[in-house]
Amino acid sequence: MSQPDFSHDGIRTLRGTTFRYLFLLCALLSIATTVAIILTLLVDAVDFFGTVSIVDFLTGTNWAPSHEPVSFGVLPLISGTLTVTIGAAAVALPIGLLTAIYLSEYASERRRAYLKPALEVLAGVPTVVYGYFALVYVTPFLDRFLPIGTFNALSASIMVGIMIIPMVSSISEDAMSAVPDSLRQAGYGLGATKFTVSTTIVVPAALSGIFSSFILALSRAIGETMIVAMAAGQTPQMADLTNPAGMFLDSVQTMTAAMVEIGTGDMVSQGVQYQSLFAVGLTLFVITFAMNLISEFVASRYREVYH
Amino acid sequence: MAAESTGAHSDATFGRISRRKDVAFRLLALGATLVGIVSLALLLANVAVDAVGWLDWGFLTSPPHPFPDQAGFLPAIVGSIAIMLLIALITFPLGVGAAVYLEEYASDGPLTTFIQLNIANLAGVPSVVYGLLGLGLFVGLLDIGYGSVIAAAFTVGLLILPIVIISAQEAIRAVPDSQRQASYGMGATKWQTIRNVVLPRAMPGIMTGTILALGRAIGETAPLIMIAAPTTVFGVPTGLLSKASAMPLQIYNWASYPQQAFQYGVVAAGVVTLLVILLTINSIAIVIRNRFEQST
């Protein structure tokens, strides 16, 4: 009796094991992707640093990959990236945080039910569309009040800021919703208003989640490509610390925009220029990867507090 | 007595001020919530008005043209849809497989934690970096052709894979454990339980997540630029290895034309077309979700 049953079970076990390993392979593909990203970036970046010294790359203040004399100093690109990121942060962090407070503390269930999906639409709009909006609607509008150029960091910052609002608001709101109701009740029991409870109890209690949403949103702003490539222009320049506002009115070039410029050019012919793409890509990857890890780490800490 | 009434008076003032502060803050927070939504609505209204007169049957069925009134979007639309279908074929089995492993097989060990953390991180890698991966790996090392449909699909497919995995995991996690136990109780194996109980129950959620991710894929521009996909092509793609443009690339290209008729007319028509297709895709996802929510 056991003989035919055994072989039947054998096939079943074999099939089960096969699928188990197939699925494991799918999961391991994500690790392979990370490894592939790092290797692809490293291989060409290492070649690049064979020609251009890594010190010159990291400390050089002139980025001119395509016209003689070529120069590969990444600082102007980092400066442009920081300008846009700071501008986007000024738009998205306060608005996103207030939105999260409204959704978590003030809004009725019904209102939340349509405000949340409406906000998520912001993150779903293709970035090339935001870039177009910044270029043809926001810049001409700002031009009525400010001495800005056709390409400027300001309209790009505003658009990147609007795009990342949902990242700040949804993660912050999750963190605020995780604050136990007993803390709020204690505040109301002392006669506090909703404003006091929100700002002195809920926000401080959810601070690590809010902080993590800020870092993640800024990481997105740093990596955002099409908006800055279309609206901020292609003028690599160092920030003038004596005139910080001027940086926003002028055209700047971010790391990502520089990559698009090289990518749309005739890059195959020029070896160093092609490799510089990977050096900038590696710089961008290292910065955003570190920020994503920090955000993940900070977020995982608040989850433990209230469980 | 006098001191008491002053106290009561200042208490009342204090109460009034803090109530006013509360109302002011509530309005401020509501205002902030509406900022993004209202500005997007205004911009969409602008682009819709600009697209009037440009978005017509001729625009949807013609190839690009140097004259704005003859310019069309057809190769870009077909290119985007071809790339998207191929991405669906690549990411759906891989994403579901990874999610099934993580939710049904993996134990809570360091490997699982590592894979999970890694997926979360991949979801945050800038899309332009995926473009470099595509350029170095698919175009450079594997040599499957600059800007080909298949190179584009692999590159953007890897980009949205983490989103597909995460949403599929959520759908699988939502299947009640009692149903798995019932299946095991009937003598089913793990694989039979997954195939006959878990996956059918999770499928609407998995489909919804995958379709939303495909919506994101259709808007990706930077990775396609990096793998040197042409921003303008005049014919529809004929095979996996033929070069194809995509809607966002064509929009990017047209937006750089100096003529007003392009900037405010043709590009607006392209943007509206892209957004309508995106909206259709997202609506399909929502319809699938609602239909299955009602039937269970």
Q: Rounded to whole angstroms, what are the CA distances from A153 to A157, A261, B47, B127, B192?
A: 6, 17, 22, 21, 57
Q: Rounded to whole angstroms, what are the CA distances from B220 to A252, B51, B235?
A: 23, 22, 21
Closest by Cα among A41, A76, A54, A70 to A272: A70
In this complex, which of B31, B102, B215 lies closest to A27 when CB atoms are compared? B102
At residue B1, the pLDDT reads 43
Q: Which residue is associated with the tokens 């590592």?
A: B114
Mutation target to probe the A interface, by most A beta carbons within 10 A, among B14, B19, B21, B25 is B25
Q: If contacts are CB pairs under 8 Å, which of residues 84-113 in chain B contact chain A?
A: 93-98, 100-102, 104-106
In this complex, which of A16, A133, A281 lies closest to B189 when CB atoms are compared? A16
**Largest interatomic CA distance in chain B:** 94
**Could you tell me if A179 and A126 lie in one domain?**
yes
**What is the interface pTM, i.e. ipTM, of the complex?**
0.88
Question: Is A277 part of any domain?
Answer: yes
Q: Residue A52 and residue A44: Cα distance in Å, rounded? A: 12
- CA B210 vs. chain centroid, Å, equals 9
Q: How many CA atoms lie within 13 A of B8 on its CB side?
A: 5
Mutation target to probe the A interface, by most A beta carbons within 10 A, among B11, B43, B260 is B43
Closest by Cα among B191, B146, B159 to B91: B159
**Could you tell me if A133 and A101 lie in one domain?**
yes
Cβ within 8 Å, pair B37-A22: no
From the CB of residue A148, how many other CB atoms can be counted at a distance below 10 Å? 20
Question: Is A87 part of any domain?
Answer: yes
Q: Reply yes or no on whether the pLDDT at A34 is more than 50.
A: yes
**Could you tell me if A177 and A243 lie in one domain?**
yes
B33 reaches A (C-beta below 8 A): yes
**Could you tell me if B220 and B267 lie in one domain?**
yes
Specify whether the CB–CB gap between A237 and A253 falls below 8 A: yes
Q: Residue B274 and residue B278: Cα distance in Å, rounded? A: 6
**Could you tell me if B146 and B11 lie in one domain?**
no
Domains of chain B: total: 2
At residue A298, the pLDDT reads 84
**Could you tell me if B128 and B252 lie in one domain?**
yes
At residue B21, the pLDDT reads 85
Question: Is A68 part of any domain?
Answer: yes
Q: What is the pLDDT of residues A129-141, one digit of tens each?
A: 999 999 999 999 9
Query: In this structure, what are the phi and psi dihedrals at residue A237, rounded to the nearest 5 degrees?
Result: -150, 150
Question: Is A56 part of any domain?
Answer: no
Question: Is A57 part of any domain?
Answer: no
At residue A297, the pLDDT reads 85
In this complex, which of A12, A98, A222 lies closest to B29 when CB atoms are compared? A98
Q: What is the pLDDT of residues B145-165, one digit of tens each?
A: 787 888 899 999 999 999 999
Q: Residue B52 and residue B269: Cα distance in Å, rounded? A: 8
Report chain A residues whose CB lies below 8 A from the CB of B220. Answer: 126
Q: At B167, is the secondary structure helix, strand, or coil?
A: helix
B127 reaches A (C-beta below 8 A): yes
**Could you tell me if B46 and B113 lie in one domain?**
no
**Could you tell me if B43 and B143 lie in one domain?**
no
Determine what percent of chain B is predicted with pLDDT higher than 70: 95
- How many Cβ pairs within 8 Å bridge chains A and B? 255
**Could you tell me if B15 and B159 lie in one domain?**
no
**Could you tell me if A68 and A36 lie in one domain?**
no
What's the predicted TM-score (pTM) here? 0.88
Q: Which of B51, B70, B86 is the last residue of a domain?
A: B51
From the CB of residue A81, how many other CB atoms can be counted at a distance below 10 Å? 27
**Could you tell me if A47 and A67 lie in one domain?**
no
Q: Reply yes or no on whether the pLDDT at B235 is more than 80.
A: no
Q: If contacts are CB pairs under 8 Å, which of residues 247-276 in chain B contact chain A?
A: 248, 251-252, 255, 263-264, 267, 271, 274-275
A141 reaches B (C-beta below 8 A): no
**Could you tell me if B109 and B37 lie in one domain?**
no
Report chain B residues whose CB lies below 8 A from the CB of A172. Answer: none
**Could you tell me if A41 and A117 lie in one domain?**
no
Question: Is A2 part of any domain?
Answer: no
**Could you tell me if B35 and B160 lie in one domain?**
no
Cβ within 8 Å, pair B132-A292: no
Specify whether the CB–CB gap between A192 and A170 falls below 8 A: no
B184 reaches A (C-beta below 8 A): no
At residue A1, the pLDDT reads 43
Residue type, position A27, single letter: A
In this complex, which of B33, B137, B194 lies closest to A99 when CB atoms are compared? B33
Q: Residue B107 and residue A137: Cα distance in Å, rounded? A: 52
**Largest interatomic CA distance in chain A:** 91
Q: Reply yes or no on whether the pLDDT at B38 is more than 50.
A: yes
**Could you tell me if B151 and B103 lie in one domain?**
yes
Interior/surface letters B210-239, b for 16+ CB within 10 angstroms, e for the rest: bbbbbbbbbbbbbbbbbbbbbbebeebbee
Give the residue from chain B lying closest to A116, CA to CA. B33
Q: Residue A264 and residue A114: Cα distance in Å, rounded? A: 40
A258 reaches B (C-beta below 8 A): no
Structural domain that includes position A235: 63-302
Q: Residue B238 and residue A293: Cα distance in Å, rounded? A: 42
At residue B11, the pLDDT reads 67
Question: Is A115 part of any domain?
Answer: yes
The mean pLDDT of chain A is 86
**Could you tell me if A18 and A101 lie in one domain?**
no
Q: Reply yes or no on whether the pLDDT at B20 is more than 90.
A: no
At residue B10, the pLDDT reads 65
Question: For B218-223, what is the mean pLDDT?
Answer: 90
Specify whether the CB–CB gap between A26 and B94 falls below 8 A: yes
At residue B92, the pLDDT reads 94
The nearest CA of chain A is from the CA of B2 a distance in Å of 25
Domains of chain A: total: 2
Report chain B residues whose CB lies below 8 A from the CB of A176. Answer: none
Angle at B44 between CA B38 and CA B50, to 5 degrees: 140
Q: Residue B127 and residue A23: Cα distance in Å, rounded? A: 26
Specify whether the CB–CB gap between A118 and B36 falls below 8 A: no
CATH number at residue B204: 1.10.3720.10
Specify whether the CB–CB gap between A268 and A174 falls below 8 A: no
Question: Is A197 part of any domain?
Answer: yes
**Could you tell me if A46 and A130 lie in one domain?**
no
**Could you tell me if A106 and A251 lie in one domain?**
yes
**Could you tell me if B234 and B285 lie in one domain?**
yes
Q: What is the pLDDT of residues A184-205, one digit of tens each?
A: 999 999 988 888 899 999 999 8
Q: Which helix (H) or strand (E) holds A64?
A: strand A63-64
CATH number at residue A184: 1.10.3720.10
Q: Which helix (H) or strand (E) holds A71?
A: strand A71-72
Q: What is the pLDDT of residues B49-85, one digit of tens each?
A: 988 888 788 777 877 777 777 777 888 888 899 899 9
Sign of CA dihedral B183, B191, B166, B289: negative
Give the residue from chain A lying closest to B165, CA to CA. A27
Burial label for A169, CB within 10 Å (0-12, 13-18, 19+), is buried
Structural domain that includes position B220: 59-295
Residue type, position B227, single letter: I
A64 forms bridges with which residues in the sheet? A71
Both tokens of residue B149?
């449909």
**Could you tell me if B46 and B65 lie in one domain?**
no
Both tokens of residue B95?
């994403």
Q: What is the pLDDT of residues A231-290, one digit of tens each?
A: 988 888 887 777 777 788 888 899 999 999 888 876 555 688 888 889 999 999 999 999
**Could you tell me if B169 and B218 lie in one domain?**
yes
Report chain B residues whose CB lies below 8 A from the CB of A27. Answer: 97-98, 101-102, 106, 115
Q: Reply yes or no on whether the pLDDT at A159 is more than 90.
A: yes
Both tokens of residue A184?
């709020």
Structure confidence at residue B295 as a pLDDT band (50, 70, 90):
low
Cβ within 8 Å, pair A281-B128: yes
Q: Reply yes or no on whether the pLDDT at A305 is more than 80.
A: no
Report chain B residues whose CB lies below 8 A from the CB of A256. Answer: 126, 128, 222
Cβ within 8 Å, pair B136-A224: no
Q: Reply yes or no on whether the pLDDT at A217 is more than 90.
A: yes
**Could you tell me if A33 and A80 lie in one domain?**
no
**Could you tell me if A113 and A197 lie in one domain?**
yes
A4 reaches B (C-beta below 8 A): no
